[in-house]
Amino acid sequence: DQTLPLTISNAPTEWINADVTVNLTATDNLSGVERTYYCVDNDNICMPAIQGNYATISEEGIHYLRYYSRDMAGNNESAKSAQVKIDKTEPEISIISPESRNYSYTEDFATNFSATDNLSGINTTTAALDGILTNNLQTIDLFDFNLGTHIFAVSASDNAGNEIEQNVPKFNSPLLTYP
């Protein structure tokens, strides 16, 4: 038997927001599979030395699962690598405007908000004033809105599917108070 074994993984190719268990499936049609070895690192340089058919990765970040198998005839396949990307943290939202305060009905303001995500990156960001979608840096003329309390909400999701929503607690027009 001079045929190398073949090992495949089911590592996800996209960002994941939970622990990931990667199964390693080895085949060898002649002498059979003796063992599968793997290792996990952040640099894609480790030497597979852990024996097993699966690896569970829990820490956030970009990880490399390197693996290979040996058949019963002593043939080793070349080490392969699968990238595993985990992001369990929600994005962060910053709302600069509007502020939680009283506004005159004759005032206007420009919405100003941002969302950041340090691992998988931002996928979507949306904002709404009283449920009506608005754009960042959009000028809002309060004369066009009913008097009273208003809600400004920003939602963001990252590329791993983590979601968050943040509201300006309350802002009012015209000069009404809030608790």
Cα torsion at 37, 38, 44, 45 (round to 10°)? -50
Average pLDDT over residues 62-81: 97
pTM of the model: 0.86
CA–CA distances in Å: residue 13 to residues 7, 48, 82, 87, 149: 17, 21, 8, 13, 45
pLDDT attached to residue 176? 39
Confidence bin at 174 (pLDDT 50/70/90): low
Q: Which of 23, 44, 34, 110 is nearest to 70 (CA)?
A: 34
Is the pLDDT score of 170 beyond 80? no
Q: How confident is residue 177, by pLDDT bands cut at 50, 70 and 90?
A: very low
Reference 22, options 89, 85, 90; nearest CA is 85
Average pLDDT over residues 62-73: 98
Instruction: State the first-to-last Cα distance of the chain, in angstroms, to the nearest integer.
Output: 80
Query: Residues 115-160: pLDDT tens digits?
Result: 999 999 999 999 999 899 999 999 998 888 888 888 899 999 999 9
In percent, the amount of the chain with pLDDT more than 90 equals 79
Name the residue type at position 85: K
The whole-number average pLDDT for the span 59-84 is 97
Residue 95: pLDDT above 80? Answer: yes
Contact 109, 70 (CB under 8 A): no
Mean pLDDT of 35-40: 98
